[in-house]
Structure 1
Amino acid sequence: MLDACGQLCMVMSLEFLLHHSSHDKPCIIVAYKGVLSTALEKLKYSESLRCLLTILPLDLLPQMPIQPRLISNAVPSVVKPTTLLILVDDDSIGSGWCEQVPIHASSDKIEWHLSLLQFSQEGYNVLHVKYPSVEEDGYDLRQALLKADEEVSKLGCDWALITYGLSAVDARALQFSILSPWNDLKACIHFCPNTTSAKPFLLKKKSGGYIPSVFHIPASQELLHAALVPHTQAEQPNNGRSHPVISLFTYPLVPEKCPFPLMLNAPSRAARETVCPHIRSATTLSLTRTLTLLRRCIGPYFDLESVWEEHAHYEFVERDAQKTLSTMVSEPYVNHISTLTGGMGRQDLLRFYKYHFTGLDTTPPDTEMITVSRTVGTDRIIDEMIFKCTHTTEIDYFLPGIPPTGKKLEFPVVGIVAFRGDKMFFEHIYWDQASVLVQLDLLDATNLPVAGVDVARKVLDPFGVPSNTLLARWKTSEGLSTDS
C-alpha cells in the first residue's frame, strides 16, 4: 500500500496529467483497487473531468516473481560454497544469530542482510526468500519459490533449507515449487513451524528415506512435539554407526509468536533492555545444533584446532596483538569471567591485547600453558588447561590491580572458544580465583571451603590428591551402607 508520501506524489502526478489533457485527448487512468484508488479519492472530480478512470480489483494485478536476495559466501578459504535457501520475513529480523556487526551500532533496527550475514560468514551462499508473503505490490510466494529454484540451480552444489514459522500449507507448496534441484537438497531445518502436523515437513528423497531434518520448537508446542516424536524414533538408526535422520529439540520459556533466533538485537554499548536469558540460551543452542547438521550434510569443514593453536601462539609466544586479532572475526569479544576483563569489538580488543595482555610487563615471561583435555565441537572448542607462572608482573587480565608478589602460581583454566567460519568469534575464560588468591597469600583459606595449588594438582593427577579434604562431614558417612 502507498504511504502518505507516496499518495502525495501520486496526486501531484494525476493533477499534472489532468492539466495537460483535453476533451479530444482524454487522459486514461487505470488503477488497481487499494493501490491508486486511495490517491484518486484525494482529487475533487466533477462531471467535466477530462479523464477516463478505470478501477480494477487487486487480484488482477500482474504477479511479478520476486528475485531472491543473494548473500555470497564470506569465507575466502571456502572455494566452492554450498547454498542455504532461507525463508524468513524481512520485517521480523532483528540481528538473530548475526552479532557480527559494528559494535558501535546503537540502532535496534538492523537491516535484514545483517541477520542473514551470519550464515555467509559460516561459509555458505545464502538465498533469502521473504516469508510469510503479503499479497500486495505483486508479491507471490509461489513465484518467488520458483525463482529461488532457478537460482539454486545456477549456484550448483548441494543445498539446505531453513524456514522460520512455516505453515503446513506453505510447506506443501514448497514441495511442489522446488523441483529441479530436489535431489541436491541435503538437509532441512525448521524453526517454530506454524502447525500441529509433522507430515508436510518431512521431505522424502527420490531414492527413498527422509531428508535429514532438524526441528527447533518451543516447549509449548506440545501437539507438534507429539506428532514429531514417533518419526524421530522410527527413523533413528539402531546400528550405532549412523546419525539420526529426524531430530527434535525443544526450548523452554520461549514464545511461539516469533521464531526465537529473530528476537535478538545486535550487540551495542547503548543502554537497553537485557536480553531474555531463555531466548539467548535457545538461540545459542539451536545455532550449534543447526550447524552440526549443515556441516555433516553439506560442509564446509574447518580445522578449528589449528586456528586456536595459532591464536595462542601469537598470544604467548610471539606476543603480537595484531597477529592475535588476525585469527578473529571483525568484531570479536573476549571475557575473562572472574575479573570481567577483555574487550568488545576490534579496537577495544586490540587495545586490551596490546597494553594489557601480550606485553612482557603483563604476562610473566615464564608463563606456561598445559592442556589437560580438549573438546572440539561443530563451532567451538573447550580447553581444560593449567596456567603456570611466577607472579613477577601485574597480570591485568587475571589479577588487575594486584602488584607482583614473586610467588609461584598454578591454577586450572577452562576456555570456551567459539568460531564463526574459520575465525574465532569469542572467548570465555573461567578459573578458580579463590585458588589464585590463596596461593598469593591474599586470601586466608583457614575457615573457607577453598584450596590453593592442590586444585591444579588434582586436575593433573586425579588419584594423586585425596578428595573431600574440605568436607568436614565426610567422616560421618564412613562405614555406612551405600546400598539402595
Structure 2
Amino acid sequence: MSIPPRLISNAVPSVVKPTTLLILVDDDSIGSGWCEQFSQEGYNVLHVKYPVVEEDGYDLRQALLKADKEVSKLGGDWALITYGLSAVDARTLRSSILFSWNDLKACIHFCPNTTSAKPFLLKKKAGGYIPSVFHIPASQELIHAALIPHTQTEQLNNSRSHPTISVFTYPLVPEKFPFPLMLNAPSRAARETVCPHIRSATTLSLTRTLTLLRRCIGPYFDLESVWEQHAHYEFVERDPQKTLSTMVSEPYVNHISTLTGGMGRKDLLRFYKTNVPPNHEETHNDVDHASRHRNDHRFAYSFLPGIPPTGKRLEFPVVGIVAFRGDKMFFEYWDQASVLVQLDLLDPTNLPVAGVDVARKVLDPFGVPSNTLLARWKTSEGLSTQ
C-alpha cells in the first residue's frame, strides 16, 4: 500500500512561483505542523509519511515514486527535508528519484538514524555533491565523525563559496528522536513550555535550514523593508492595525527587560493601543549606510511600567531581534539599566552599570573609554602583559 504525498500549497501571496520541498516526516499533528510551517515560509510542500510502520503495509518506495512524479509536475527547483531517516531508507530514496534529480538543489537531514554518511551525500549528475545540511545531537559522534572529512574537503576546494556540506551539532538534545518533532512548529502558535535546550536547538536549526533553502531555491524577501514598514506604522503613523498587518497571524512581542509586549494578536493589539498613544510628538530620523541602519527616536510617552513621563531626553541602545516567517515578522528589546540611571531612578554608584555612555559607546566605540567600571583597570596601567 502506498499513500500519495499530501500537497500543502505555498501560503505566502507575494511568492508567485514557489519552489517545492519534499518533506519526509510523520503525519501526526506535529509533523503536519512543520509542513505547514514551511508552506508559510513560501514553499509548496509535498508531505510523505515517514517513518514506515510495517504493520500498516505502507510501501515507502511507491510513495517516493509518486512524490517524484508530483515534484516533476510542479516543476522548477526543489529541496529535500528528512527527519530521522535511516540509511536503508536513504538508499531507497536515492533509487526512487527518477524524473526530478536534476532539479534537486539542496538537502536537509535532521537526526539521521545512521552511523554512515555515504547514503545521505547525494551527487549531482554533473558531478559534485548537492548542498546539504545535517542537524544532529552532539551525542551522535559516529555520524558526526563520518561527515567531518566531507565538510573539510569541500571547504578546501571551495574556499570562495559557501560550504557544500555543513554539519551542526546541538548539545543536550535526545539522540533517539528528531528534536524538532518534540514541540509544535512556530506556525501552530502553541504556547507550550519545553526543555530550553530543545527549543534553542529547534529555533537555531530552522534558521540554518532556511539559510540554505533561500540561497539554493529562494524565495528572496526584502526583510529590511518589512521591518522599516513595521516601524513606520508603529512609531510614525501609530496605527496598531497597520502595524499588525506586517506580522504573522499570531505574532508576539517580547520586551525582555520590562516583561512587556503581547503574546498573540489580541494581546498585541491591546498592547499597541494602550502603550503607544496616537497624539504624542516624535521625531524619527533614518541614517542608511552600506552595512549599518540606525533609527533615532524621541518618544514622548511612558514606556517603563509604573514610571510616568519625565520629559527627559534619553539615549539608550536597542537590540532588536526580529524573527520573520515568509514576508511577515515579530519583536524587539532594550537595555534597562542605562535608562534607569538617566531617569535618576537608579544610583550607579558601586554598581556595574552606566548611563548615557552606554548608547554613546555603541555609536562611537573608540570615543568612549572601555573598562571604566573595572576597579583594577587603572591600577593595571603600565604593568607587563607578558
Q: Does the aligned pair in 1 maintain the 2:238–2:278 contact within 8 Å? A: no
1:394 Cα deviation (Å)? 25
Provide closer, same or farther for how the CA distance between residues 250 and 308 of structure 1 changes in structure 2, counting only shifts above 3 A. same
1:267 shift after superposition: 7.5
Q: How far apart, in 2, do the equivalents of 1:365 and 1:272 lie?
A: 31
CA drift of 1:443 comes to 1.2
C-alpha distance in 2, partners of 1:402/1:431? 16
Cα deviation for residue 469 of structure 1 reads 2.0
**Taking structure 1 as reference, are residues 271 and 129 closer, same or farther at Cα in structure 2, changes over 3 Å only?**
closer
Pick the aligned partner of 2:286 from 394, 399, 412: 394
Q: Give 1:241 shift.
A: 2.0
Structure 1: distance between partners of 2:279 and 2:117 = 60
- Aligned residue for 1:139, secondary structure, equals coil
Distance in 1, matches of 2:3 and 2:36, equals: 28
**Counterpart-to-counterpart distance in 2, 1:196 and 1:122:** 31
**1:468 positional shift:** 2.1
How far did residue 151 of structure 1 move?
A: 0.7
Q: Structure 1's 97 and 448: CA in aligned 2 closer, same or farther, altered over 3 A?
A: farther
After superposition, the Cα gap between the structure-2 partners of 1:281 and 1:422, relative to the gap in structure 1 and judged at 3 Å, is same
What does the per-residue CA deviation read over 1:344-393, in whole Å, with 9 as the maximum and x for residues that have no partner? 11111111111xxxxxxx5589999xxxxxxxxxxxxxxxxxxxxx99x9
* CA distance 1:288–1:459, change in 2 (3 Å): same
Are the counterparts in 1 of residues 184 and 190 from structure 2 also a CA contact under 8 Å? no
Cα drift, residue 447 of structure 1? 2.2
- Report the alpha carbon displacement of residue 414 of structure 1 after superposing the two structures with TM: 0.6
CA contact (8 A) 2:18 2:43 kept: yes
**Structure 1 residue 442 displacement after superposition:** 1.1
**Cα drift, residue 270 of structure 1:** 12
For the residues of structure 2 that align with 1:192 and 1:255, how far apart are their CA atoms?
10
Q: Within 1, Cα distance between the matches of 2:190 and 2:19?
A: 39
Change (3 A) 1:246 1:353: same
Name the SS of the counterpart of 1:94 in structure 2: helix
- The structure-2 alpha-carbon separation of the partners of 1:367 and 1:203, relative to structure 1 and needing over 3 Å to count, comes to farther
**For 1:159-181, what per-residue CA distance to the aligned partner results, in whole angstroms no more than 9, with x for missing partners?**
10001111111111111111111
Distance 1:402 1:302, change over 3 A: same
Deviation of the 1:412 alpha carbon: 1.0
Q: How big is each residue's C-alpha offset from its partner over 1:12-39, in whole Å with a ceiling of 9 and x where there is no partner?
A: xxxxxxxxxxxxxxxxxxxxxxxxxxxx
- Relative to structure 1, the CA distance from residue 98 to residue 146 in structure 2 (aligned partners, 3 Å threshold; closer, same or farther) is closer
Cα distance, 1:278 vs structure 2: 0.9
Taking the aligned partners of 1:466 and 1:228, their CA distance within structure 2 comes to 46
The reply to whether residue 459 of structure 1 matches residue 370 of structure 2 is: no
1:467 deviation in Å? 2.1
Larger Cα-atom Rg: 1
2:329 pairs, out of 407, 419, 424, with 424
CA contact (8 A) 1:327 1:424 kept: yes
Q: Say if 1:218 and 1:253, in contact at 8 Å, map to a contact too.
A: yes
Instruction: State the secondary structure of the residue aligned to 2:31.
Output: coil
Structure 1 residues 96, 138: CA separation in 2 closer, same or farther (over 3 Å shift)?
A: closer
* More divergent stretch after superposition (343-352 vs 262-271): 262-271
Task: Tell me, yes or no, if the aligned pair for 2:105 and 2:217 is still in contact at 8 Å.
Answer: yes
Contact conserved, 2:19 with 2:76, CA < 8 A, in 1?
yes
Per the TM alignment, residue 395 of structure 1 is displaced from its structure 2 partner at its CA by 25
What is the root-mean-square deviation of aligned Cα atoms in Å? 4.0
1:93 CA displacement = 2.8
State whether residues 188 and 213 of structure 1, in contact with CA within 8 Å, keep that contact through their aligned partners in structure 2: yes
2:227, 2:266 → 1: CA distance?
A: 21
> Structure 1 residues 332 and 363, CA, compared in 2 at 3 Å: closer, same or farther?
closer
Residues 172 and 288 from structure 1, CA distance in 2 versus in 1: closer, same or farther, beyond 3 angstroms?
Answer: same
Q: 1:270 to 1:125 in 2, by over 3 A?
A: closer
CA distance in 2, matches of 1:141, 1:92: 20
Q: Secondary structure at the match of 2:136?
A: strand
Q: Is the 8 A contact 1:211 1:245 kept in 2?
A: yes
Say if 1:394 and 1:404, in contact at 8 Å, map to a contact too. Answer: no
CA shift in 2, pair 1:364/1:413, >3 Å: farther
Change in CA separation of 1:244 and 1:459 when aligned onto 2, cut-off 3 Å: same
Deviation at 1:448, TM superposition (A): 1.5
Q: Displacement, 1:462?
A: 2.0
Which segments of 5 or more consecutive residues in structure 1 lack a partner in the other structure?
1-63, 101-118, 355-361, 369-389
CA distance in 2, matches of 1:270, 1:466: 44
Alpha-carbon spacing, 1:457–1:74, altered in 2? closer, same or farther (3 Å): same
**How far 1:406 sits from its partner (Å)?**
2.3
Higher helix share: 2
Question: How far 1:434 moved relative to its partner?
Answer: 1.5
After TM superposition, give the deviation of residue 94 of structure 1 in Å.
6.2
Contact 2:26 2:50 (8 Å CA) reproduced = yes
Q: Secondary structure at the match of 1:296?
A: helix
1:473 Cα offset (Å): 1.5
Distance 2:179 2:288 in 1: 37
- Gap change, CA 1:252 and 1:95, over 3 Å in 2: farther
Quote the offset at 1:302 in angstroms. Answer: 0.3
2:25–2:31: 8 Å Cα contact kept in structure 1? no
Residues 95 and 254 of structure 1: CA distance in aligned 2, closer, same or farther (over 3 Å): farther
Pair 141,81 (structure 1): closer, same or farther in 2 beyond 3 Å: same
CA distance in 2, matches of 1:433, 1:151: 53
8 Å contact from structure 1 (residues 188, 211) kept in 2 = yes
- In structure 2, the CA distance between the partners of 1:436 and 1:99, relative to structure 1 (3 Å rule), is farther
Tell me which protein shows more strand as a share of its residues: 1
Alpha-carbon distance change, 94 to 65 in structure 1, aligned in 2, over 3 angstroms? closer
Deviation at 1:470, TM superposition (A): 1.8
**Deviation of 1:432 (Å):** 2.2
SS at match of 1:462: coil
Deviation track 1:51-74 (CA, whole Å, cap 9, x = no partner) reads: xxxxxxxxxxxxx33110110000
Aligned residues: 371
Compared CA separation, residues 168 and 241, structure 1 to 2 (3 A): same
CA distance in 2: counterparts of 1:70 and 1:466, whole angstroms:
58
In structure 2, the residue corresponding to 1:408 is in which secondary structure?
coil
- Uncovered stretches (5+) of structure 2, i.e. residues with no partner: 290-302
Q: Is the 8 A contact 2:253 2:268 kept in 1?
A: yes
Aligned to 1:473: 376
- CA 1:235/1:464 → structure 2, altered by over 3 Å: closer, same or farther? closer
1:454 touches 1:465 (CA, 8 Å); kept in 2?
yes
